[in-house]
Amino acid sequence: MSHAPQLTGAPVVRREARDKVTGTARYAAEHTPPGTLYAWPVPATIAAGRVTAVRAVDALAVPGVHTVLTHDNAPRLAEPDDPILAVLQNDRVPHHGWPIALVVAESPEAARTGAGRLLVEYESDEHDVTLTEDHPGLYTPEEANGGFPAVRRRGDFERSFAAAPVQIDATYRMSSLHNHPMEPHAATAWWEDGHLTVHDSSQGSNAVRKSLARVFGLDPGRVTVVSEHVGGGFGSKGTTRPQPVLAAMAARHTGHPVKTVFPRAQLAEVVGHRAPTIQRVRLGADLDGTLHAVSQEIVTHTSTIKEFVEQAAVPARTMYGSPASTTTHRVAALDVPSPSWMRAPGEASGMYALESAMDELACALGMDPVELRLRNDPATEPDSGRPFSSRGLAACLREGAARFGWQGRDPRPAARQEGRWLLGTGVASATYPVLVSRSSARAHAAADGTFRIEVNATDIGTGARTVLAQIAASALGVDVESVEVRIGSTDLPTAPLAGGSSGTASWGWAVHKAATALADRLAGHRGPLPAEGFTATGDTEEETAADSPYARHAFGAHFAETAVDSVTGEVRVRRLLGVYAAGKILNARTARSQFTGGMVMGLGMALTEGAAIDPVFGDFTAKDLASYHVPVNADALDIQAHWIEEDDRHLNPMGSKGIGEIGIVGTAAAIGNAVRHATGARLRELPLTPDRLLPYLL
C-alpha cells in the first residue's frame, strides 16, 4: 500500500457544498412523487382539555381540499415509543399546539385555507404553564436526560459551605428556548405494496424507521426512511417528530403520497424546546479561591405526557474539584409542550449558571477569574474519581488568555468607557461529554480503483460525508477523492443519529473499522481485483459497549468582549474567542465552522433568545423568527475558534472528541460576565435584553 498524505485534519471542502448553493441538494419536502397531496397540521388553541367537535364542512368545501383527518377518522396507531407521536388518536389536548387535525389537499395553499376554515370546539380544563421555584408539583425524578442520576451528593455540603470564609449563593433563570433549524420539520411519505417510504427531516433515520415500524405495526424491513440533506436540527430532529407519522397516516388514508411540513409558527410547540431552568448555585471557598463546597440545584418543567429533565446540574460533576458537592434536579409536569434536546442540553443551561457563579466568586475574592478556574482544576473527575482521558481546560484557559489579550485586565467594573459605550471582558469554561454509539459501515473497493463507503450517517449541515471520506481515505491510504460516501438512508448499514456531538466518532469508528478490514484484504491480494471488487464491513458493537476506566470530556474556554450602550442598554459582543481541547480535529475547515456556529448559538442565548409562555393562553409568545430572535450576521462581529492539539488514546481510532455542541457551552456566561465587568450590573436572568439592563444604567 502506498503511503498517503495525512488526510484527517486537512481542511477539505465539504462535498455537497456545490449541490447546496446551486439548489440541487434535495431536502425532505423537495420530493414530489406523482399524485402528491399536501397536509397542513392544525394545532390546538387551548392548553388543556378535550376536543368536543371538529366541523369540517367548510374546510372540505375549499377547492382542492381532499380530506380532513381528526381523531375520529385517522388510522389507529400502536402505542408509540414516544408519547408525542400518538397524534390524532383521541380527543385529549395535553398542551397548546398539540396537532388535533390534518387538512390534506392538492396544494399547500388549499390545505392552509382549509385549515383556516375548520371549526373546532373544545372543553377546556384549567391549565398551569408557569414554573416557579416553589411550585407544589415539583418532584425529584429518578434520572435527568441522558440517564444521569438526578441527585448526587459527595461530602457534607451544608457543613463545608457554612464553614467557608467566602460564599456565593445566587439563583439564575432562563426561559424556554427554541431550536428553530432553518429547514422546518417536513416529511414526504408514500405506501407501495405495503412498503412505507418516507423522506424525513431527521438527525437519524434509523430511529425514525423504528418509530414508524412500531406505530404502524410493520416489520422495520418494510419501512425506508431517507434523510439525505437536513437543514439543521439542533436536537429537535434527534428524536422522531410527528411529521412522518402524520404524513404516513394521511398517505395510508388517501392512497396518495403526502407531504407534511410544519409551518414555522407551529414548530415551537411540536418539536421540543429547551426547558426553562431556575438554578440555585452555592459556592464556598477559601480566601485563596480553593473550592470546598459546590452545590447546583435545578428546577425545571416537563409536560404532562412525557418526562424530560434538562440535565443542567450534570456538568458541575465534572468541572471543578471540591470535597463537598451536591447536584440535584427537580421537575414539575405542567400543561406545556414536551421539552427535549436542544443545543447542548444540560451543559448549555447548567454552565451558564455555574460559570456565572464562578465569576461572582472571583469578584468576591478579588481574584482573576482565569486564575480561579486554574486553581480548581481537578486531577481526577470530581464526581466519579476516574482519571480524565485528557483534560485540556487549563491549556485552553491559558492559550485563550494569551490570544485574547487577557493579561493586564483591569478588574474594576465600569472602568472602561468609549463614548457612550461601556466596555468589559469576561471568561467562562466549557465542557461536553465524549459520547459514542454503536454503528456499522460497509467499505467497498471497486475494480476500477475507486472506493465506496456506506453508512446511514446523517449530514445536518456539518460536513459528515466529507469527514467520513477523510477517515476512510486515511485508513485505506488512498486519495480522498477516490472515496465515494453514501449516507442518509435506512437502506444503508445501521448507524446512530447526528446528536450528542457523537456522529463523527460513532460513524467514523465503524467506517475506520470497515476501511481497515478492506485495506487488509487488499494488502493480501495480488493482481487485478475481481469484477465485483471487494467488500468489508465494520460494526463497533463491542468497542462501544466497553466501559471506559477514564472520564472522557472535551473542554474549552470562552472569552468575550462586550460593549454596553449606557443610554439604551443594548449589548454588542465585539469579540468572542474560544479555545477548545477536543481530541484530534479531523477537518480544520468544517470543525472551525461548527465551533463558531456553536458560539453564535451561545451569543443568541445570552442576548436575544428567550421564549415566554403566556400564563392565560398557555402558548409560547414568540412563535416565529420575527419574534424569536436568533443572532444575524450583524451580531457576529469577530468570532474566533482555536484548538489545542490533543493526543488522547482512550477515545476511538481517530482520536476525536465531539465538537458540535461545546462551542455553545459557557458562551452565554462569558458574555454575561463581560457585561458585569462593563457595567457593574450582575444580571442573573437570560437573555440580557435592554429592558433588564437599563435599570442599572440610569
How many whole angstroms separate alpha carbon 534 and alpha carbon 497? 28
Where does 89-135 show beta strands of DSSP type E? 92-93, 99-105, 119-124
Cell of 657: 472528541
- Pick 103 or 662: Cβ nearer ligand MOS: 662
Contact status, residue 481 vs residue 450, Cβ threshold 8 Å: no
Positions touching ligand MOS (CB under 6 A) are: 203, 233-235, 238, 341-343, 345, 499-500, 661
- Shortest Cβ distance from residue 596 to ligand MOS (Å)? 17
What angle is formed at CA 423 by the lines to CA 417 and CA 424, rounded to 5 degrees?
135
Pairing between β-strand 451-454 and β-strand 143-144 as defined by DSSP bridges? unpaired
How many whole angstroms separate alpha carbon 90 and alpha carbon 97? 15
Taking CA atoms, 82 is separated from 100, 272, 280, 340, in Å, by 17, 12, 31, 11
DSSP string, 292-348: EEEEEEEEEEE-SS------TTSTHHHHS--SEEEEEEEEEE-SSPPP---SSTTHH
- Pick 251 or 342: Cβ nearer ligand MOS: 342
| Catalytic hit among 310, 360, 661, 685 | 661
- Shortest Cβ distance from residue 507 to ligand MOS (Å)? 15
What is the distance between the terminal CA atoms of the chain, rounded to a whole angstrom? 72
- Pick 571 or 664: Cβ nearer ligand MOS: 664
- Shortest Cβ distance from residue 347 to ligand MOS (Å)? 10
Containing H/E element for 544?
Answer: helix 541-545
- Shortest Cβ distance from residue 661 to ligand MOS (Å)? 6
Contact status, residue 235 vs residue 342, Cβ threshold 8 Å: yes
One-letter amino acid at 118 equals: L
Q: Which residue has 456522529 as its cell numbers?
A: 503
- Shortest Cβ distance from residue 657 to ligand MOS (Å)? 14
- Pick 235 or 284: Cβ nearer ligand MOS: 235
Cell of 159: 457543613
Cell of 454: 456506506
Containing H/E element for 67?
Answer: strand 65-69
How many whole angstroms separate alpha carbon 636 and alpha carbon 573? 8
- Pick 210 or 575: Cβ nearer ligand MOS: 210
Phi, psi of 312 (to 5 degrees): -70, -20
- Shortest Cβ distance from residue 179 to ligand MOS (Å)? 8
- Pick 199 or 274: Cβ nearer ligand MOS: 274
- Pick 49 or 238: Cβ nearer ligand MOS: 238
- Pick 216 or 580: Cβ nearer ligand MOS: 580
- Shortest Cβ distance from residue 631 to ligand MOS (Å)? 18
Contact status, residue 324 vs residue 285, Cβ threshold 8 Å: no
How many whole angstroms separate alpha carbon 651 and alpha carbon 661? 18
- Shortest Cβ distance from residue 239 to ligand MOS (Å)? 9
Q: How many CB atoms lie within 10 A of CB 642?
A: 16
How many whole angstroms separate alpha carbon 248 and alpha carbon 112? 19
- Shortest Cβ distance from residue 148 to ligand MOS (Å)? 15
Active site residue 307: no
Q: Is the dihedral of CA 202, 205, 206, 212 positive or negative?
A: positive
How many whole angstroms separate alpha carbon 382 and alpha carbon 360? 22
Helices (H) and strands (E) in the chain, counts: 17, 28
- Shortest Cβ distance from residue 270 to ligand MOS (Å)? 16
- Pick 262 or 341: Cβ nearer ligand MOS: 341
How many whole angstroms separate alpha carbon 100 and alpha carbon 47? 12
Alpha-helical (H) ranges within 366-463 are: 369-375, 393-404
Contact status, residue 495 vs residue 438, Cβ threshold 8 Å: no
How many whole angstroms separate alpha carbon 444 and alpha carbon 484? 10
How many whole angstroms separate alpha carbon 34 and alpha carbon 5? 48
Contact status, residue 163 vs residue 359, Cβ threshold 8 Å: no
Pairing between β-strand 143-144 and β-strand 551-565 as defined by DSSP bridges? unpaired
Beta bridge partners of 202: none
- Pick 499 or 653: Cβ nearer ligand MOS: 499
- Measured at CB, which residue is nearest to ligand MOS? 235
- Pick 284 or 660: Cβ nearer ligand MOS: 660
- Shortest Cβ distance from residue 82 to ligand MOS (Å)? 15
Q: Which residues contact 42 (CB under 8 A, 6 or more apart)?
A: 99, 100, 101, 102, 103, 115, 118, 120
- Shortest Cβ distance from residue 206 to ligand MOS (Å)? 15
One-letter amino acid at 25 equals: A
Alpha-helical (H) ranges within 108-149 are: 108-117
- Pick 203 or 211: Cβ nearer ligand MOS: 203
Catalytic annotation, residues: 661
